[in-house]
Copies of this chain bind each other. A is one copy, B any other.
Amino acid sequence: MSLLVVGSVAYDAIETPFGKVDRTLGGAASYFALAASRFTPVRLVGVVGDDFEKRDEDILRHHRIDVAGLERAAGKTFFWAGRYSQNMNERTTLATELNVFAAFNPKLPPSFTDSPYVFLANIDPTLQHSVLKQIRGKPKLVALDTMNYWIERTPAELRETLKHTQVLMINDDETRQLSGEHNLLRAAKRIFSMGPKTLVIKRGEHGALMVHDRFLFSVPGFPLEEVHDPTGAGDSFAGGFMGYLASAGRVTDEALRRAMVFGSVLGSFAVEKFGVERLKTLTLREIRARAMKFHRLTAFEL
């Protein structure tokens, strides 16, 4: 079933111990869409500037991503530059130029307003809410990402948007900040009272933890010998997670567990090369093989 993503499309300049790229396709919506498109048709809503190259739009088009919602505005595309430390455990932001993204006001093409699965990437909660208002009827599943900036600056707007959200995907620190509670299980209970009934806590190299009304599910980070570029890992995780769920069509407990695994699979592939390079060539066969590796990594019999 169709999966709508609303979020940033950007050009990134990235430097890691393994190399350097300038002006490569990036942004949460790009990573998400490329990861999710392995499972299901994806509809993308975002904004780019008049410098956005056909080559990059073609990368999206070639992966079953409907770019009818990719607005072209006068000005430059959102630009981000960052550098990772020797051990990849620290990231320094060298530049954040919002450009056309500063005035982003997501508008859904009529063909997108029936989307049953919706992912609201990390943008202003007011804009996230405006997306939901444009959807006809009630989507089957709305998932949302946010960050400390919105938790601090626009708490009321975030709370309002969370009322219409089923799955919240954030990291440990954001979970603690949003709930005002250090313990993650108690934090989840407070967040459940805000609307979401499923909390997915992304923990980077330590994997991810799902706290659900009825169960807990944990998936480890996939041990890799070489991580070339951690950029986009979380958005690729979200893409694998939501892409799998949209393809499964039913949100059962078992499907949610598998979604966590496919999210981790996509996140683990994304970091193997720079930018979206690895996602561009990734096949369903490779995804299935790595999901089996996750099974062997975690399976035991009592």
Q: Give A residues with C-beta under 8 Å from B.
A: 86-87, 182-186, 203, 206-207, 209, 211, 215-220, 223-227, 254, 257-258, 260-261, 288, 291-292, 295-302
Contacts and interface: CB of A to CB of B under 8 A. Distances in A.
Contact of A224 (B185, B226, B258): B185
A258 B300 CA distance: 6
Q: Is the interface of A mostly helix, strand, loop or mixed?
A: mixed
The count of identical subunits is 2
A218 to B, nearest CB: 4
A262 to B, nearest CB: 9
A199 B143 CA distance: 38
Contacts of A225: 183, 185-186
13 contacts: A185-B225, A203-B206, A207-B218, A215-B296, A216-B223, A216-B296, A220-B220, A257-B299, A258-B302, A260-B300, A261-B300, A298-B300, A299-B299
A209 B182 contact: no
Contacts of A227: 183
A301 B254 contact: yes
B183 A254 contact: no
A18 to B, nearest CB: 12
Contacts of A186: 225
Nearest to A188: B223
B296 A302 contact: no
A260 B299 CA distance: 11
A216 B292 CA distance: 13
A270 B224 CA distance: 31
Contact of A298 (B183, B288, B298): B298
